[in-house]
A and B are shown apart, each in its own frame.
Chain A
Amino acid sequence: MIFQTILLIALGILMLSILANMYRVVKGPSGADRVQALDSIGINMIASIAAYSVLFHTHAFFDLILLIGILSFIGTIAFARFIERGVVIERKR
C-alpha cells in the first residue's frame, strides 16, 4: 500500500518534469533548445513506463523502453544534422 503510494508520487513528479520540458519546447529561443527538450521528454517517458511496469506487476513493456531509447537517439541525430547542415542524408562527398 505504501509502496504504491510512493510509485504514484514518483509518477506525479515525472509528469511535472514533462510539463517543464514542454514549456521549454514551446518557448525556446532557438531550435537546439527545442531538440534537447524533446530528447529529455523521451527519457522521462522511459522512466514513466518503468514506474508503470512496477505498478501493474507486468513485464510486457520492457521492450518498449529499449525501443523508445533507440528511436529518440535516431530522431535527435537527424534533427541535429538538419540544424547544422540543412541536409539530413548526404548524397555525395
Chain B
Amino acid sequence: MTTSTVPTTAALALGDDALVLSHRLGEWAGHAPVLEEEVALANIALDLLGQARVLLSMVGDEDELAYLREERAFRNLQLVEQPNGDFAHTIARQLYFSTYQHLLYDRLAAGDGPFAGLAAKAVKEVAYHRDHAEQWTLRLGDGTEESRRRMQRACDALWRFTGEMFRPVDGLDVDAPALDAAWRKSVGEVLRRATLTVPEGPRTGAWSAGAGREGLHTEPFGRMLAEMQHLHRSHPGASW
C-alpha cells in the first residue's frame, strides 16, 4: 500500500485521529443536551469523517483501512479514542484536539507537503470546531458551580493524553516543540478565561504518551472498534 509520495505513517495517524474522534462524536446523536448541539456535534463529526476519508484514501481503500484493521494497527492518538463521558468531558477532549489540529493544519496548509491541499480545506472546518470547543469551555467553566467542577474534572482527566500530540510523526514535517508551545499558550489562555486551572500533571507518562501512534491503545478502544466493524466484517467482500 505504500507509495513513494504519500507518507503512509503520517496519513494513517492523521486519518485515524479524524476517523476515531468522528465515531465518538457520532455516539452523541440523539443524546445531546440541547437540539442545537445535536446539529453542532454531528456537523463536527461529519467534517472529521470527511477528512478521514481523504487521508485514508491516500494510503489505500478507506473501508478496508477503517473496517479490517485490528486495534494494534490503528495509529490514532489515545486522546481521541477516550469515551465521551459527560458533555464537559467531550468538550475538553474537543478543546485539546481541535486546538492541536487547527495549529497543525494551519502549518501544513502554509507548506507545500503532501498534506497541504487537504489541510487548506480542512483548516476552515477545524477553526470552527476550535471555536465551538472554546465557547463551550468558557460557558461551562464560567457557568455554574456544577459546570465549573465538571469542566475542571474533565480537563484534568484528559491532560495526561495531551503530550502525545507533540511527538514527532514520521512523514509529518512540522516543528513539534513550537506546535506544543503554541498549543499550551492557547489552551492555557482559554482555561484561564474560563476561570479554570491549567492542569499540572504529567503530559508524557511512560505508557500513555506516544502509545496510540505505536498502536498501543486504551481498553475502551477495542470495544469501540468491535461495534464499528462488526457489520462490515460479518459480510466479507460485500459492497454497501
**A, B assembled together:** no
Chain A residues at the B interface, C-beta cutoff of 8 Å: none
